[in-house]
Structure 1
């Protein structure tokens, strides 16, 4: 899994941080998403998928392509 974010689309709702705090954080000054782990371990995949699904701005992209 590879996670990418679009900070320009982020509205600062923070739902991603609540779903997967090990993977996402927010900037102090404006609440825009910060990506902490672009390739999270398998144990966090469900939480990352949930974060992407509930993001009101659709600012999170999850790529499931296997990397060799």
Structure 2
């Protein structure tokens, strides 16, 4: 794994933009009205979608972390 998707659920405001951008990585909890990270290390093939989900989050609850 060359990167990780980091999610701060307490910042999530329920816009679900991440789910629209990357349904392979995200789910949505209707009861909590927030996104759910399904795959923290989605792999290189899904990196563009992971990055798009981070970019489109209005609450800035998602970020991509490179390995140290």
TM above 0.5: yes
Which sections of structure 2, spanning at least 5 residues, go unmatched? none
- What is the TM-score with the length of structure 2 in the denominator? 0.89
Runs of 4+ in 1 over 2 A off after TM superposition: none
TM-score w.r.t. the length of structure 1 is 0.89
Match for residue 9 of structure 1 among 11, 15, 33? 11
State the alpha-carbon separation in 2 of the partners of residues 19 and 64 from structure 1. Answer: 20
Measured on the aligned residues, the alpha-carbon RMSD in Å equals 1.1
In structure 1, stretches of 5+ residues that fail to align are none
CA offsets 1:22-53 (integer angstroms, 9 cap, x no match)? 11111021321101000002111001101100
Report how many residues are paired.
Answer: 66
